[in-house]
Every structure is written in C-alpha cells, then in structure tokens.
C-alpha cells in the first residue's frame, strides 16, 4: 500500500545518492569524490545567477525524486517474476527468460523506457 508513494521517490536521493558519497568518503576515494563534487560546482555556477540558493537546493532533490520514480517504474515493470520454481533446476538462460517479460510496444512506452520495455532482448 505504501511502497509506490514512499519508497520509489526516496530510492535515488537517500540510497544511491547519499550512499555513493558515503562510500567514496569512507573508502577514501578522493579522486572519485572530487569528480562527484564537480557536478555541484558546475550546477551552482551555471544556475546560480538565474535562481536563488534556496531554489537551487530544492531542485536537486526534486530531480532525484522524479528520476527515482521513473527508474522504479521502468525497471519493475519488466522484472516482475513469472512462474519460477526453484526445484526445476533449469539452466541460467531459461530461468532468466521465465523471470522477465517484454512490455507492450507503443510509441510512448518506447520513448519513456528508452526501449527497455524489450527486457528479454536487453
């Protein structure tokens, strides 16, 4: 009941985004951390003269929330498990083909998913 309103919007901002910075800091990947920080430097340099700081600081989480919801919808519509029985002992390829599906092709669906609606071929 609460999965789609709560978790997809928070997946990228909280887990992927913050966790990436956390790992780079704790593992002392200073070069990677510096490259990640250049995004914010470029972002504030480019849009700082156009928008207020408060607006700029709210745009990044808003963008991450929209991106996160899109990612969850696109990835989950193709990875809904089909009829999988662990006792069948099928080879890897057969199991993968049973656990994924293509989504109906349409102009919007092709554009929205970046052609990832052809999950079996992907």
Quick: pLDDT tens for 66-106.
Answer: 887 787 777 776 666 566 666 667 787 777 777 777 777 78
Q: Is the pLDDT of residue 35 over 90?
A: yes
Q: What is the pLDDT of residues 9-28, one digit of tens each?
A: 777 777 777 888 899 999 99
pTM (predicted TM-score): 0.58
SS3 (DSSP) at 85: coil
Of residues 76 and 48, the one with the higher pLDDT is: 48
Contact (CB, 8 A) for 68 and 9? yes
């Amino acid at each position: 009941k609460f999965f789609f309103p709560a978790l997809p919007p928070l997946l990228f901002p909280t887990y992927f985004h913050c966790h990436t910075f956390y790992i780079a800091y704790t593992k002392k990947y200073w070069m990677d951390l510096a490259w990640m920080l250049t995004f914010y430097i470029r972002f504030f340099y480019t849009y700082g003269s156009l928008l207020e700081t408060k607006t700029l600081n709210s745009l990044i989480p808003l963008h991450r929330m929209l991106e996160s919801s899109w990612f969850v919808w696109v990835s989950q519509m193709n990875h809904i498990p089909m009829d999988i029985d662990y006792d069948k002992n099928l080879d890897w390829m057969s199991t993968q083909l049973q656990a994924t599906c293509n989504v109906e092709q349409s102009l919007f669906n092709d554009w929205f998913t970046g052609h990832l609606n052809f999950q079996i071929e992907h």
